[in-house]
Amino acid sequence: MPLVKICGLTRPDDAAHAERSGAAYLGAILAGGPRLLSPAQARQVLGPRRRGVQRVAVFGDQPAAEVIVTARALDLDVVQLHGTRTAAEAAHIGTASGCVVWPVVRVAGTMLPVEAAALGAVHRTLVLDAHVVGQLGGTGVALDWAGLVASVRDLRTAVPDLTVILAGGLRPENVGEAMTLLSPAVLDVSSGVESAPGVKDPAQVQLFVQAARDAAEKSR
């Protein structure tokens, strides 16, 4: 059963509902866009460290020192790194912050970026998100899951214990197809469970978690 991350949270009530619905990860955006929060707002939305759920903040091209300071101040579980980070820089952020690092590669077409293997080899985790010019994420644009099957298979061969996190255009009605084709360990959804940018639809959140569970059961 893949785990679910509800990202782009902007309201504490939405975060609490996502947690009650079975989300394993709660995500706040510190990288820009319509769901952007300040660190103080992210603290309110994500809450304190606790058992049963992991709290993730999404960063862009902020300086590494700023990411580290913010991650420590929020006592994050995970830092998700968009932007242009080298594997070495991402590793430094993880060590200095004490957080798990999720590096992101933005994918256009059916080939993974050249840096995917290096990032995956260092962190054993990789987020696959859609490449949309001028935006880092939360676009609602889906990857070409069928076209990426061979590339993802090759990546897993190169990095056997890789944890694949799938983002980009996931919704309750298509999450089963994405799981069947790419078998991600984590499903990262934002706009696909919203009634407006940053406003989560409780019914859609529950439908998404249930759809993931149903698809997992069918694949057994």
Give the model confidence (pLDDT) of 76-87 as tens digits.
999 999 888 888
Percent of the chain with pLDDT over 70: 95
Residue 21 CB neighbours (<10 A): 18
DSSP state for residue 105 in the 8-state scheme: E
Q: Note down the domain range covering 69.
A: 3-219
Structural contact between residues 130 and 141, judged by C-beta atoms closer than 8 angstroms: yes
For residues 10 and 37, what is the distance between their CA atoms, to the nearest angstrom? 7
Q: How many CA atoms lie within 13 A of 3 on its CB side?
A: 15
What does the pLDDT average to over 126-152? 80
For residues 180 and 100, what is the distance between their CA atoms, to the nearest angstrom? 27
Please give the pLDDT value at position 133: 46
Please give the pLDDT value at position 138: 55
Task: Reply yes or no on whether the pLDDT at 135 is more than 70.
Answer: no
Question: pLDDT category, 108, cuts 50, 70, 90?
Answer: confident
Structural contact between residues 123 and 86, judged by C-beta atoms closer than 8 angstroms: no
What does the pLDDT average to over 5-23? 98
Question: pLDDT category, 109, cuts 50, 70, 90?
Answer: confident
For residues 49 and 90, what is the distance between their CA atoms, to the nearest angstrom? 22
- Buried-state track 191-219, b at ≥16 Cβ within 10 A, e below 16: bbbbeeebebbeebbbbbbebbeebeeee
Q: What pTM was estimated for this model as a whole?
A: 0.94
Containing 25, the helix (H) or strand (E) segment is strand 25-29
What does the pLDDT average to over 183-205? 96
Please give the pLDDT value at position 139: 60
Angle at 158 between CA 155 and CA 159, to 5 degrees: 85
The count of domains in the chain is 1
CATH for 176: 3.20.20.70
